[in-house]
Amino acid sequence: MTDDSIDMPYGIFLSHLEYKTPSDALKELLVLGVPTSTVEAIRARFEESTQKVKELDEPSVVERKGRPAWYTGPKPTDRYWPAVEKILRADGWGDGAIASLDDSSTRIVSLLNHPNEKTFRSRGLVVGYVQSGKTTSYTSVVAKAADRGYRFVIVLSGIHNGLRRQTQNRLVKQLVDPNPSHWFQLTSAEHDFVPPPNPAAFFGKASGSRVLCVVKKNGTVLRKLAAWLEAASQHLVDTPTLIIDDESDQATVATERINPLILRIMEGLPRSVYLGYTATPFANLLINPAADDLYPRDFVVNLPKPVGHFGTEVIFGRDPVEGEEPEDAPDGYDMVRIVPDEDVSSVRPMKKADVDTFSPTIVGSLRDALEYFLLVTAARRVRGTGNPHSTMLVHTSVNTAVHLSYREPLRAFLSSLRADLATGDAVDRLRDIWEAETKRVPADQLGETPVVFDDLLTELPDVIRACRVVMDNSRSEDRLDYENGPVVAIAVGGNTLSRGLTLEGLSVSYFVRAVSAYDTLLQMGRWFGFRHGYADLPRVWMTEELAGWFRHLAVVEHEMRDDIDRYMSEDITPLEFAVRLRTHPALLVTARAKMKDAVTASAAYGGQRLQTHYFRTDRDWLLGNIDAAKGLVKAAVAEGIEPIVDRGRYVFHGVSYTAVLGFLTEYSFHEEWAVATTELLTDYIQKRVRAADALRRWNIAVIGNPAGGPKDFSFGEGVTVGRVVRARLKTHREGFADIKTLMSRKDAVVDLSGDHSRATEKDLMRLRTVLAPDTGLLALYPIDKDSEPATAHAAETREPLAAEEHVIGVGLVFPEVLSGDVAAHGYIQADLSGISIEDEDYSALEDEE
């Protein structure tokens, strides 16, 4: 094919690069009818030209902040990626899942350095989801990088032998076994790294093979690898290397032993890319980028959420974030069961001194979880679909002695249940459990086939006989082995089960482990992942406090991923923009040592609509808020402001900000309403007043139903409206109510003239900018204490409010700030102040093998 014959389509391809990735631009040519052979010629010309441009140090056709987007996707002549794809299809992956993996891995490889560059030491980060297939992602990246010339692959695989062995086996299956003559292995499933003689045999120019090394993040192992690479330095000058750090937030960041060794390994590899993979990147994003460390200075990317993945939002729901309608925030499925606080001391020792003498009790919540697990396993046998394994996780303590103490009580429970089932004593109780659970999460709601109790009852005796009790920790000889037939197991463990390792067929979790940091908590959520064939059946037993923490983490994750997506959409780098991480009053973002260089970031309220939806239900707390609301109305009237009255709504225009500050001081926000506090709100308003003479005046709205009925509520001063109804989401938590949504969209402009019922949220905020650029809105809602669900459908997820007094809800709408918004604090981020932009705790890890 002559160059002239591709000039025109090549020009079209280049024009698409202004708004598409190279891979997508090539796909667009195929859509336009350009022959496949021509597209392949265009691919080759582009990849060659970007490399020549790089070598000549000339302006590139397409760059992302000086990084040529050189990789355009797989070629028909590739060897390693097609082998991975073939294996995945044989394992049941469909076209859609393969296409998503292909696109995301192409995107990541395009951000790596071209393997022919003379020298490079880049650092990037890939953010996935817990139990979402990160190993498959980086296997695909390795395969595509190897197809283009990367010759050495180092995988840093956690800190435990089990995870390293699991990773080695998967990489061998998908990379080595299909092309055995093209790979050298420096490690095996049985053995971590042992320095082989004669490095030239692996890295000599005459060798066209790829080299694979899968090692633990262990001081002894990494020192041996670093020393071996230093001895082979003359052979590594021409060896493009990809370092994959699996679980890159664990042991990598801020550790005295491991972190310097990883940097030492990179120093011995003059052509290398360090690529961290994690679902909990909090520590990675808070590294000091000015130091010679592993901050992802070159790129950070999100993996797309796979179809069918169960994450924090699916199970725990999420509060709305900035600019989001409350109804668009997911509620989560009804899969969380509450462990009463009084049960906790029976399932884990409350003091360190009690560890050695602790003996667990099969309390009611644990018995419910165990019996439901056995029912689920029997039901899955009836269905005969999905993962053949069935596992339950019991995670109450990190201490191995506590794990071992569970062995005999759990075996005794299984023996007793088997006897009760034989005599029929347990049948009615088990039937009630099954029917109650399947009603709360109907099978057809998630596309699964319902299973009636009588059908699973026939399978239940064999399930109980097959069930093993496995203590899986760093000291036990027990291990979960899924290689030799279907497994039914109750797994009791700690750290070895909380990082990386997949619990096959996990359907029930009992989790009361006390933790202090976001990343630790999320990684312990082994219940996240894929549940093909039993999507309706997973359940998690935990305390109400833990469930609230996970719901908060769903918000943190959502905001974090939105920030990360800005890197691609706005063409910026991690050295120009630091991802913000929302803080929590009771949890650390990550270990203190890992965020020692973080700085407080800002959460400004300009252009936001805030609404309270968490409330206490006790009398004194509610009466205090009623008094505060009446006091605000009284203050507005005292200023001589006549309200505008319209169908159960009173609006006072131009109330002084001092009256609003007085109300905010008297009103009690629920401590778990993480959006704001009295201190943050009052501080923000005062700063706006001082900085821009804004928010001096407020419009106060009292929003209810038309008065004149039995549900009237008087604020005094002639202001009476009918109470509104807001039922609460179902919960087993005493004294707590979450109504999720307080305000309607149109309420955000209740103080402005005109009909805005069809306007979007953004339109409403623009309207405020034009009509009330310096005026805030504070809305008061009197909520009926007995609020019932409005419909039978609503009653599936909601229940009566059942408060001891009527509830006062508060909505706050802040006008947009065109520039220089002041800030309230509530986030942290990496400190970028030491970066000059140009154009171009596991410190105590055992150091033993």
The SS3 assignment for 789 reads coil
> 19 and 97: one domain?
no
Q: How far is CA 611 from CA 48, 125, 552, 817, 824, in A?
A: 55, 35, 16, 20, 17
Does 562 fall in a domain?
A: no
pLDDT attached to residue 608: 82
Looking up tokens 């103490």 gives: 405
DSSP class of 588:
B
Q: What angle do CA 666, 615, 345 make, to 5 degrees?
A: 120
Does 413 fall in a domain?
A: yes
> 25 and 143: one domain?
no
> 56 and 40: one domain?
yes
> 651 and 633: one domain?
yes
CB 142 within 8 A of CB 175: yes
Does 254 fall in a domain?
A: yes
Count of structural domains within the chain: 4
Domain enclosing residue 644, as ranges = 609-826
Q: How far is CA 82 from CA 14, 140, 170, 381, in A?
A: 27, 10, 16, 35
* Final residue belonging to a domain, choices 259, 291, 307: 307
> 19 and 164: one domain?
no
> 424 and 482: one domain?
yes
> 330 and 476: one domain?
yes
pTM of the model: 0.72
> 111 and 166: one domain?
yes
CB-based burial label for 694 (10 Å; 0-12, 13-18, 19+): buried
Does 431 fall in a domain?
A: yes
Does 749 fall in a domain?
A: yes
Does 673 fall in a domain?
A: yes
**What digits encode the pLDDT tens for the residues 618-677?**
999 999 999 999 999 999 999 999 999 988 899 999 999 999 999 999 999 998 786 778
**What digits encode the pLDDT tens for the residues 303-350?**
888 878 888 888 888 887 766 777 778 888 999 999 999 999 999 998
pLDDT attached to residue 193: 94
> 526 and 632: one domain?
no
The SS3 assignment for 104 reads helix
Q: How far is CA 279 from CA 216, 526, 840, in A?
A: 19, 12, 30
pLDDT attached to residue 58: 32
Q: For the residues of 556-573, what is the DSSP string, one character each?
A: HHHHHHHHHHHHHHTT--
> 49 and 190: one domain?
no
The CATH number given to whatever domain includes residue 93 is 3.40.50.300
Mean pLDDT by 10 residues, the chain (849 residues): 69 72 82 84 80 40 51 92 96 88 92 91 91 90 96 92 89 96 93 87 73 95 94 88 93 88 94 94 89 89 84 86 73 92 93 89 96 97 92 89 92 96 94 96 93 96 95 70 87 67 85 81 80 92 90 89 80 82 79 79 75 94 97 96 93 96 96 81 88 90 93 94 94 85 88 75 75 93 96 87 97 79 65 54 33
Does 684 fall in a domain?
A: yes
pLDDT attached to residue 498: 56
pLDDT attached to residue 34: 84
pLDDT attached to residue 842: 30
Does 590 fall in a domain?
A: no
Contacts 24+ apart (CB under 8 A), 17-22: 17/61, 17/62, 17/69, 21/69, 21/106, 21/107, 21/110, 22/46, 22/62, 22/69, 22/70, 22/71, 22/72, 22/73, 22/110
> 362 and 279: one domain?
no
> 325 and 231: one domain?
no
